[in-house]
């Protein structure tokens, strides 16, 4: 079977390509990636000879039509993915997340490929810190940021294309991922590479915001479970019961890197900062029999810190530019 992976040079997409080649030899993989600031061809170095790589945009209808026309399955990871960037300049988020998804859906409609749409729990907005509730597939959409609203828009396009045109599609909304190859703009890699660079970690506000952490390999094994056994038109929430507030995560990073507990700076909070995300993954676990492998966050985090220690050549060229952009905003 031929699989088209969009955004395969990004964090989750690259890990997905590695896992697919390792564990699902039935697929021949083509990656379509625009190589924005977030895409890194080096993340695919180890599999370069085993995949086809196409440099191009999901919003380019000609390229997309050609590639979708010769694939059986499309897994759509490509996106502008960072909330802080969407607050600085929302325009690319509209183009890639909304127009790009529309472009893929139209090609899928023409050619009849099976489509899986990768999305985020942020489409549901946020929960109160003291609320026992979690997001379920029935939670109403209520996105807060330009990033999450464009992801919500793309999800709704997929649902409409299923209902109106009968395309064969599934959706997944996952919580916060961590693991190798994550861009240093994101929370965990930023703090780890700060420590490794002799800089102090930066915590937004009081650090009470809660995220539901999942290892990227567990996200990707859930995507494969959905590809194998998911029902068309259905939405599956992916999460591994990993709720932690940002202060707790930072405390672990400091402990695991041998830093004093107070060796960080509190910086300007994110505008509109969502308080808490939490996933109820019952449907995924009971219907599809999926279970996560990384159940100890501390171990997964320690392995991730080791990866950044051992792959400085991968992240070092990105670091100064990211820190300069944050510093310009007091972050």
The residues of the shown chain that bind ligand TDX, judged by CB under 6 A, are: 81-83, 120, 122, 176, 186-187, 190, 202-204, 209, 211, 246, 270
Which does residue 11 touch among ligand TDX, ligand NAD, none (CB within 5 to 8 A, set by kind)?
ligand NAD
Report helix, strand or coil for 135. Answer: strand
> Is the CB of residue 39 less than 8 Å from the CB of residue 10?
yes
Token pair for 209: 């915001």
Report helix, strand or coil for 131. Answer: coil
> Is the CB of residue 16 less than 8 Å from the CB of residue 83?
no
Which does residue 9 touch among ligand NAD, ligand TDX, none (CB within 5 to 8 A, set by kind)?
ligand NAD
Token pair for 300: 């997964």
Residues 6 or more apart from 57 whose CB is under 8 A from it?
A: 34, 63, 96, 100
Work out the angle between the directed axes of helices 187-196 and 297-310 (0-180°, nearest 10): 50
Q: Produce one character per residue of 158-196: b if its CB has 16 or more CB atoms within 10 Å, e if not.
A: beebbeeeebebbbbbbbbbbbbbbbbbbbbbbbbbbbb
Cβ proximity to ligand TDX: between 105 and 188 the closer is: 188
Cβ at position 104, least distance to ligand NAD in Å: 10
Which does residue 211 touch among ligand TDX, ligand NAD, none (CB within 5 to 8 A, set by kind)?
ligand TDX
Residues 6 or more apart from 248 whose CB is under 8 A from it?
A: none
Cβ proximity to ligand TDX: between 51 and 210 the closer is: 210
Cβ proximity to ligand TDX: between 270 and 311 the closer is: 270
Instruction: Calculate the dihedral angle through the C-alpha atoms of 287, 24, 6, 3, rounding to the nearest 10 degrees.
Output: -100
Work out the angle between the directed axes of helices 101-111 and 146-165 (0-180°, nearest 10): 20
Catalytic residue among 84, 121, 212, 218: 121
Which does residue 150 touch among ligand TDX, ligand NAD, none (CB within 5 to 8 A, set by kind)?
none
Which does residue 252 touch among ligand TDX, ligand NAD, none (CB within 5 to 8 A, set by kind)?
none
DSSP 28: E
Cβ proximity to ligand NAD: between 201 and 242 the closer is: 242
Cβ at position 68, least distance to ligand TDX in Å: 24
Q: Is 121 a catalytic residue?
A: yes
Q: Is 277 a catalytic residue?
A: no
Can you state the percent helix, strand and coil of the chain, rounding each to 5? 45, 15, 35
Report helix, strand or coil for 151. Answer: helix
Q: Is 274 a catalytic residue?
A: no
Cβ at position 59, least distance to ligand TDX in Å: 18
SS (H, E, C) 173-224: EECCEECCCCCCCCHHHHHHHHHHCCCCCEEECCCCCEEECEEHHHHHHHHH
Interface residues toward ligand NAD, by CB under 6 A:
6-7, 9-13, 32-36, 38-39, 57-59, 77-81, 96, 100, 118, 120, 151, 174, 176-177, 183
Catalytic residue among 27, 115, 147, 181: 147
Cβ at position 35, least distance to ligand TDX in Å: 18
Cβ proximity to ligand NAD: between 79 and 288 the closer is: 79
Cβ proximity to ligand NAD: between 88 and 166 the closer is: 88
Which does residue 246 touch among ligand NAD, ligand TDX, none (CB within 5 to 8 A, set by kind)?
ligand TDX
Cβ at position 182, least distance to ligand TDX in Å: 8
Catalytic residue among 33, 80, 84, 122: 122
Which does residue 57 touch among ligand NAD, ligand TDX, none (CB within 5 to 8 A, set by kind)?
ligand NAD
Cβ proximity to ligand TDX: between 27 and 135 the closer is: 135
| Residues annotated as part of the active site | 121-122, 147
């Amino acid at each position: 079977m031929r699989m088209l992976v969009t955004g395969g040079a990004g964090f989750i997409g690259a890990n997905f390509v590695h896992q697919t080649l390792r564990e699902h030899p039935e697929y021949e993989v083509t990656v379509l990636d625009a190589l924005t600031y977030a895409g890194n061809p080096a993340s695919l170095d180890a599999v370069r000879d085993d995949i086809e790589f196409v440099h191009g945009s999901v919003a380019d209808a000609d390229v997309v039509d050609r590639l979708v026309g010769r694939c059986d399955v499309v897994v759509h990871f490509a996106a502008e993915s960072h909330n802080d960037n969407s607050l600085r300049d929302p325009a690319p988020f509209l183009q890639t997340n909304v127009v790009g998804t529309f472009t893929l859906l139209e090609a899928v409609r023409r050619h009849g490929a099976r489509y899986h749409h990768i999305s985020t729990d942020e489409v549901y907005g946020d929960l109160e810190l003291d609320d026992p509730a979690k997001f379920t597939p029935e939670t109403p959409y209520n996105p807060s940021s330009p990033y999450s609203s464009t992801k919500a828009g793309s999800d709704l396009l997929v649902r409409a294309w299923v209902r109106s045109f009968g395309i064969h599609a599934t959706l997944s909304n996952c919580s916060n991922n961590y693991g190798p190859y994550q861009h240093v703009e994101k929370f965990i890699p930023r703090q780890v590479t700060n420590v490794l660079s002799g800089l102090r970690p930066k915590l937004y506000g009081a650090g009470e915001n809660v995220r539901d952490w999942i290892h990227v390999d567990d996200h990707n094994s859930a995507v494969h479970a959905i590809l194998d056994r998911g029902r068309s038109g259905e939405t599956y929430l992916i999460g591994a019961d990993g709720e932690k507030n940002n202060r707790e995560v930072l405390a672990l990073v400091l402990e695991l890197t041998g830093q004093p507990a107070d060796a960080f700076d509190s910086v300007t909070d994110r505008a509109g900062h969502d308080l808490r995300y939490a996933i109820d993954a019952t449907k995924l676990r009971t219907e599809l029999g999926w279970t996560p492998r990384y159940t100890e966050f501390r171990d997964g985090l320690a392995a991730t810190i080791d990866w950044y220690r051992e792959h400085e050549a991968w992240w070092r060229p990105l670091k100064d530019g990211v820190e300069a952009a944050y510093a310009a905003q007091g972050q």
